[in-house]
Amino acid sequence: MSSMLHLKLPGRSDAIRSFKAQGGKIAGVLPIHYPRALLRSFNLLPVEIWGPPRIDPVFGSAHLQPYICSIVRNALSFVQTNPFQTVDVLLVPHACDSLQGLGSILLDFVPPEQPVLPLYLPRGQGMNKASFLQKELETLYQKLKNITGYSPSQDEMMQKILYEEEADQKLASLHRQRRNLPLSDIEFYCLIRAREFLPAEKFSEIAQQILDQVRDEILSGIPIVISGILPEPMALLNEITQMGGMIAADDLACSGRRLYPPGRSQEPFLRMAESLLGAAPSWSWGSPIQDRLEHLMGLIQASEAKGVVFYNIKFCEPELFDLPSLREGLQAAAIPSTVVEVDINDPLSNQMLTRIEAFLEMIA
C-alpha cells in the first residue's frame, strides 16, 4: 500500500485556511525564485501561482499577446477571480521577460486590490550577484514593512531562515533518494510540490515521515530525466508510469532547479541571497549554456537515466533559446532526448503521449 495514503497531505486551500485561522496572511508568489523566509518573517505564507491550470484564460488573453506562455496568461486571469481574494500580497519575481511584463501590467494597467511587489533577480556574468540580490531583499523588506506595519528583527529572520533551510535540505534528500522511496512518480511530485504552499515546518515534518521509509529496493522502470518548467497536467506522471518509464531526476523550474543549499553568512539578507544563488544553473540567473549542460549531464550520470524528455510550456522563449544547444551537447555525448510542447490549459494529447512512448521504447 502506498505510504502517501497515510500522510494526510494537506491541500493548497486547506493550508491557506489553516494559516489564516492562526492569524497569518497569504502572499501569492509568481515563479520562480523568491525569499520564503523573508515573507514568513512578516507572517505571510508564500503560496505559489504556477498558472494555475484549469482556469479560464479569457481575461489574460484580452491583455496579452497570443504568443505569451500559458503560465503568465493564466496568472493574469487568476488575479481577477474570487479565489484570488484570499491573497493579501502579490510578489512578482522578474524571472523572464513575460513575468516582468506581467508585473508591469499588474502595477500600471489592471492593478488588483492587493499590493503588487516586483522582485528583480541578478542575471549575467561579471557582477556581484549576491550583493545585488541582498539589496533587492532589503528593498523588499522595507516595502513589506510599510504594508504590514511590522519590523521583524534579525533574530526573527534568522529563525525563519533556519526553518526554510531545514525544509530545503529535506527536499534535496527526497530528490536524492527518490528511487528508494515508497512513492510512485505522481505521489512523489504531489509531495515535493507541496513545498509550493505548505509552511516550512509542516513540509519538513511530512518529508521526514517519508525519508524514514527509505528502502534498499529501487523503483523499476526506464529511468529518464525530465527538463522544463513544471509537470502539468500532472496526469502526465501516471501516463509515463503506465508506459514503463520512471522519472529518475528532474531539471524542472518548479522543483529540481530550486534545491537551495544553506547560506553561509550570519547577516540575514546576504544569507538568503547566498541560498537562492546556490540553485541549479538556469536562464533565470543568466547561467551560461555550458553550465546548464554540465548540470544536466551530472543528473543523468547520478540517476543512471537513459535519456532526457524536454517537457516545454508552449511559447516559453527562455527554454526554447537554450534547447538547441542542450540537445546538441547531449547528442555529442550519445545521450538521446526528445521534445514535447504543452499548454497547461490543454489535456494530454495522444500525439504527445505517443511521442513519449516511442522515445521510451527506443531507449529501453
So where are the chain's domains? 3-151
- Residue 338 and residue 326: Cα distance in Å, rounded? 11
Q: Please give the pLDDT value at position 6.
A: 53
Where helices occur in the chain by DSSP H, the ranges are 12-21, 36-41, 58-63, 70-79, 97-108, 129-148, 154-176, 185-192, 200-211, 235-242, 268-277, 289-303, 317-332, 350-363
Distance of alpha carbon 337 from alpha carbon 306, whole angstroms: 9
Q: Which CATH number fits domain 3-151: 3.40.630.30, 3.90.950.20, 3.30.565.40, 3.40.50.11890?
A: 3.40.50.11890
Reference 360, options 242, 218, 184; nearest CA is 242
Note the pLDDT of residue 1.
37
> φ, ψ for residue 337 (rounded to 5)?
-150, 160
- Residue 262 and residue 165 in contact, taking contact as beta carbons nearer than 8 Å: yes
Which contacts of 264-272 are long-range, i.e. CB under 8 A and separated by 24 or more positions? 266/158, 267/134, 267/154, 268/37, 268/154, 268/157, 268/158, 268/161, 269/134, 269/137, 269/138, 269/141, 270/130, 270/134, 271/158, 271/161, 272/35, 272/37, 272/38, 272/134, 272/137, 272/161
pLDDT value at residue 218: 84
Q: What pLDDT tens digit does each residue of the chain (364 aa) get?
A: 355 545 678 999 999 999 999 999 999 999 999 999 999 999 999 999 999 988 888 889 888 988 899 999 999 999 988 888 999 999 999 999 999 999 999 999 999 999 999 999 998 776 799 999 999 999 999 999 999 999 999 999 999 999 999 999 999 999 999 999 999 999 999 999 999 999 999 999 999 999 999 988 888 899 999 999 999 999 999 999 999 999 999 999 999 999 999 999 999 999 999 999 999 999 999 999 999 999 999 999 999 999 999 999 999 999 999 999 999 999 999 999 999 999 998 889 999 999 999 999 999 9
Kindly state the greatest CA–CA separation across the chain: 59
pLDDT at residue number 120: 96
Q: In whole angstroms, what is the distance from residue 137 CA to residue 143 CA?
A: 10
Alpha-carbon span 85 to 12, nearest angstrom: 14
The vertex-139 CA angle with 137 and 144, nearest 5°, equals 90
pLDDT value for 296: 98
d(CA 25, CA 354): 44
If residue 341 lies in a helix (H) or strand (E), which one and from where to where? strand 337-342
How much is the CA Rg of the chain, to the nearest whole Å?
20
> What is the rounded distance in angstroms from the CA atom of residue 310 to the CA atom of residue 216?
30
CA–CA separation, 157 vs 265, rounded Å? 13
Question: Whose CA is closest to 276, among 121, 103, 48?
Answer: 121
Q: Is the dihedral of CA 212, 189, 289, 128 positive or negative?
A: negative
169, with CB counted inside 10 A (0-12, 13-18, 19+), is middle
Q: What is the pTM of this model?
A: 0.95
Q: Helix, strand, or coil here: 76?
A: helix
CB 99 within 8 A of CB 31: yes
| Residue 22 CB burial class (10 angstroms; 0-12, 13-18, ≥19) | exposed
Quick one: cell of 340?
Answer: 514535447
Q: Are 98 and 70 in contact (CB under 8 A)?
A: no
Predicted pLDDT at 4: 53
* Residue 124: DSSP 8-state: S
